[in-house]
Homo-oligomer: A and B are copies of this chain.
Amino acid sequence: MRSMTGPRIDVVYRLRVAPEQAAQRARLLAIEQSIEMPPEAVIDRRVLDDVLAGVERIERQADGTSLAHLRLAAETVCDDAGQLMNMLFGNCSLQADVELVDIEFPSSTAQAFGGPNLGIDGLRRLTAAFGRPLTCTALKPIGSTADHLAGLCRSFAQAGIDLIKDDHGWANQRSAPFPQRVAACQRAVREANAAAGHRAVYAPSLYGTHTQMQRQIELARSHGIAAFLVAPLVCGVATFSALRREHPDLAFIAHPALGGIARIAAPALLGKLFRLFGADAVIFPNHGGRFTYPAATCQDIARNNRAPWHGLRPALPVPAGGMSVERVPELKREYGADSMLLIGGSLLVARERLAERSRAFVEAVAAVGEATP
């Protein structure tokens, strides 16, 4: 078996083919995700030795699928996040019989991307929340006025919620354009914090291109905002990675929108890749809500977010998607203190009693004795 000189990325794909076809399928996949042409047509020997991806082994699964372990040459990735996605799953995302299951990176790649700026410890310092999960809520619905959102911010901050974020659907809607929205929300949070002695943090949602997001960050910084919500697959992972690198003092919360589109296993995409690219916190659809990820998948996402990994800071897993105040004890038991619990609609259903329900959320999370360390 030839050796690939230079660092390599180890990738596991699930092949949905008859077991006797798995070896050939894996060979074709290795070609597709590297040189993308018949190897017999390659004239440059070095390309065949160092660039053509290889098949390490194939493991037949009980369900009839096969797990193919491939090695990809790190040089094809050039330390660019978009290019990493391209090489991992660009063309084969268009093939129905392949799924991306897991990835392991060499240290050089991990260092090149760098992981979270703040990580869990940094988020705790930012929100002054220690020894328990962080609490988070979302400003909904889109289409609201900036005044309405500011009112929500006041209630949430007064209640002691740690992080108040834009709903991921906020961009620059005319009902509350970005400049007005962030000014109004940040002011409301700041005033409520001062009155109540709290440390709530407001995180607006960024939209558009890297260039546009830089301008939004600049404007938000001028209001003292230090945390942002981004959907890496919507804006492009290279954009997300660049923002994180360019703003080492800011917190970036990743939202999984558009993440189901390419058949990348959630523990790889949300657990590892989002952390690699720099998410300080990773929102994921928890089981039992509006989404149907199995509990084991959710546990794997959280584990990949937090596990020791090439010295990258851990990311805070954020189970979400229809969570309720009533589930807080269960969420604490399942995810432990190093998590952030995101509850949106379940607070807002309280309507005029929003403040009371928000306080109930905060108190349920702060209650001693229920978090597994």
Contacts and interface: CB of A to CB of B under 8 A. Distances in A.
Contact of A208 (B82, B212, B257, B264): B82
Interface stretch (A73-81, A106-114, A311-319, A361-369): A73-81
B348 A38 contact: yes
Contacts of A231: 82, 86, 90
B93 A257 contact: yes
Contact of A47 (B90, B94, B143, B172): B143
Nearest to A210: B209
B143 A50 contact: yes
Contact of A171 (B41, B78, B211, B257): B78
A234 interface: yes
B292 A95 contact: yes
Interface in A134-173: 140-145, 148, 167-169, 171-173
A337 B37 CA distance: 27
Given A239-B236, A290-B28, A141 B37 contact: yes
A285 B94 contact: yes
A36 interface: yes
A37 B344 contact: yes
Contacts of A345: 36-38, 41
A143 B75 contact: yes
Nearest to A90: B257
A28 B43 CA distance: 55
Contact of A169 (B38, B44, B87): B87
B148 A238 contact: no
A274 interface: no
A36 B83 contact: no
Interface string A324-364: 00000000000000000000110011110000000000000
B234 A209 contact: no
A175 interface: yes
Given A87-B169, A258-B262, A259-B94, A210 B239 contact: yes
A141 B96 contact: no
A130 interface: no
Nearest to A235: B236
A201 interface: no
A19 to B, nearest CB: 19
A27 interface: no
A348 B41 contact: yes
A258 B262 CA distance: 6
Contacts of A90: 168-169, 231, 234, 257-258
Given A75-B174, A94-B291, A259-B93, A242 B208 contact: yes
6 contacts: A34-B142, A35-B140, A38-B348, A51-B142, A93-B261, A234-B236
